[in-house]
Chain A
Amino acid sequence: MSPSGAELIRKVKSEITETDPQVVHGLLNNGVAIIDVRDGEEWAQGHLPGATHVPRSFLESRIDGVVPDHAQRVILYCASGNRSALAARTLSEDLGYETVESMTGGITLWKDRGYEVEVPKTMTADQRERYSRHILVPEVGESGQQALLDARVLLLGAGGLGSPTALYLAAAGVGTLGIVDNDVVDLSNLQRQVIHTTGRIGVPKVESAAETIHALNPDVEVVQYQTRLDASNIMEIIEGWDIIVDGVDNFPTRYLLNDASVRLQIPVVSASILGFDGQLSIFKPYDGPCYRCLFPEPPPAELAPSCGANGVLGVLPGTMGLLQATEVIKLIIGAGDPAIGRLLLYDALAATLSEVKVRRDPDCPICSRPPESITDAEMGVFPDYEAFCAAAG
């Protein structure tokens, strides 16, 4: 006589190894593959931290992609321990996995024991549609898009570089954008600062930028800082952001930002422009060089003209700002080779993009030291600072 379903499950459980939730809890993030074999709706309501979802109905077809090494220890779980027991038998008997266990009592017992459950974030139908072209790209996918939605990126300046960067990061769904700028929109800005409009001349740039961003993508929260970044406010403003995008227009602020970002260990995607030329690099504290390793001192004022004094091709900050936005997105989704330890040089007249190597300076006055040893008094200071600032007016 054929066994009943309950009898079969009892028999299977007697043949496989069952493991108590307490033991599984001790194995989290420990190189053990923890597989949730429940259905998608159950997974969406919460799962073990670090678990991977392989529904039992797709077990045979998907498990090799998740656990290619059949010698790796695998722990399966479901709601109460029945489906995972059957799945465990399949893995060990049919697929040859060597160490397979089923968690006793499933996630129900896990929760009863008071262990933590991770609830996956899910996108709305509108979000799936809005970001569908991202989700289709393997390097982004659903998890990358979720990372973008969870990311917090601070833009220093809503000017030439900040305008295109902010527009594209907003369109890409970066969930929180901070913008620091003390200026108001001026007619002479509009040749390149495409986030602003003629109707907003005289309006603070942070307000104008926030209005454009909200119209483009209501998913994005904008945090406005209508202030000039200086030594008194920089630590407070930049703390807690994942990535900083540097598009400021003067050297003192670039050095100040460098020192504060090294102290707080926040990566800075930095670009600068002049005329037809652009430079870009990522300064990721302690992983690569910092701004001071590259440029130990700023040039004297006569060799450091500003865009205001010397002009800039309006398209150039667009090009460089979008290279910055690209690097920001790569950092967030963890794709490709970020421009760390390299300075990209764009020459618009020659239509060339070249690069030079940037090394960490073992004697760097800032990043050769532990972050906690950098003091307020040192931040943003460089030799001849007073003379530089006086000359710069």
Chain B
Amino acid sequence: MPKIKIPPVLRASVGGEREVDAPGENVRDVLHGLVSAHPATETQLFGGDGELNRYVNVYLNDEDVRVLDGLDTAVGASDVLVILPAMAGG
């Protein structure tokens, strides 16, 4: 099952986990799997139009899904999705 790496700002919404497993064959399904299990993540990941929020970067392994097929990008069982918000701390 694909893994999702959870950034610090979202960990409170997933019970403090740093990494969760979520089923799915594309990015959309995997992220929706995350949202089903942890509804508090929905508004942080998705806008009202069902698209990823612009301020959330999602990588399939090390590649931005926006340069792949976006939410339709195929995900294999051994892949890792990295959710990456910007941080500004200095």
Give Cα distance in the complex from A306 to B89, angstroms.
Answer: 6
Q: Which of A2-10, A85-93, A157-165, A366-374 contacts B (4 or more CB under 8 A)?
A: A157-165
Report the bound CA distance from A304 to B9 in whole Å. Answer: 8
Chain B's closest residue to A305 (CB) is: B9
Q: Which residues of B contact A300 (CB under 8 A)?
A: 55
Stretch at the interface among A122-130, A203-211, A243-251, A329-337: A243-251
Q: Is A356 a contact of B55 with CB atoms below 8 Å? A: no
The answer to whether B90 touches A307, judged by C-beta atoms less than 8 angstroms apart, is: yes
Contact, CB under 8 Å: A274 / B63: no
A277 contacts chain B at the CB level, 8 A cutoff: yes
Q: For residue B86, which residue of chain A has the nearest CB?
A: A295
Q: Are B87 and A274 in contact (CB under 8 A)?
A: yes
Query: Given that A299-B55, A350-B18 are known contacts, is A249 also in contact with B88, CB under 8 Å in the complex?
Result: yes
For residue A345, which residues in chain B have a CB less than 8 angstroms away from its CB? 82, 84
> Within the complex, what minimum Cβ distance (angstroms) separates A301 from chain B?
11
Task: Say whether B89 contacts A272, CB under 8 Å.
Answer: yes
- Residue A19, interface by CB 8 Å: no
Q: How far is the CA of A312 from the CA of B8 in the complex (A)?
A: 12
Interface residue? A141 (CB, 8 A): no
Residue A46 CB within 8 A of the other chain: no
Q: Which of B62, B67, B84, B90 has the most CB of A within 10 A?
A: B90
- Asked if B89 and A312 make an inter-chain contact with CB atoms under 8 angstroms apart, the answer reads yes
Which residues 54-80 of B sit at the A interface, judged by CB distance below 8 A?
A: 54-57, 59, 62-64, 67
A279 interfacial by beta-carbon distance below 8 Å: yes
Structural contact, B88 and A272, CB atoms closer than 8 A = yes
Tally inter-chain residue pairs, CB-CB below 8 A.
93
In the complex, chain A residues whose CB is within 8 Å of the CB of B63: 356-357
Closest to B44 in A: A303
Within 8 A of B (CB), among A60-118: none
B90 and A251 contacting across the interface, CB-CB below 8 Å = no
At the interface, yes or no: A276 with Cβ under 8 Å from chain B? yes
Nearest chain B CB to A367 CB, angstrom units: 16
- The answer to whether A304 and B7 touch across the interface, beta carbons within 8 angstroms, is no
**Neighbour of B86 across the interface among A162, A247, A251, A354, CB < 8 A:** A251
A54 at the interface (CB under 8 A from B): no
Query: Would you call A247 and B90 a contact (CB within 8 A)?
Result: yes
Q: How far is the CB of B68 from chain A (nearest CB, A)?
A: 11
User: What 8 A-B pairs come out closest when comparing CB atoms?
Assistant: A249-B90, A295-B86, A299-B55, A247-B90, A307-B89, A272-B87, A297-B54, A274-B89
29 contacts between A and B (CB under 8 A): A162-B90, A246-B90, A248-B88, A248-B90, A249-B88, A249-B90, A250-B88, A272-B87, A273-B87, A273-B89, A274-B9, A277-B8, A294-B86, A295-B55, A295-B57, A298-B86, A299-B9, A299-B86, A303-B9, A304-B9, A304-B85, A305-B9, A317-B90, A345-B82, A349-B18, A350-B18, A355-B62, A356-B57, A357-B64
Q: Which residues of B contact A (CB under 8 A)?
A: 7-9, 18, 44, 53-57, 59, 62-64, 67, 82, 84-90
Residues of A within 8 A of B (CB): 157, 159-162, 246-251, 254, 271-277, 279, 294-300, 303-307, 310, 312, 317, 343, 345, 349-350, 354-359
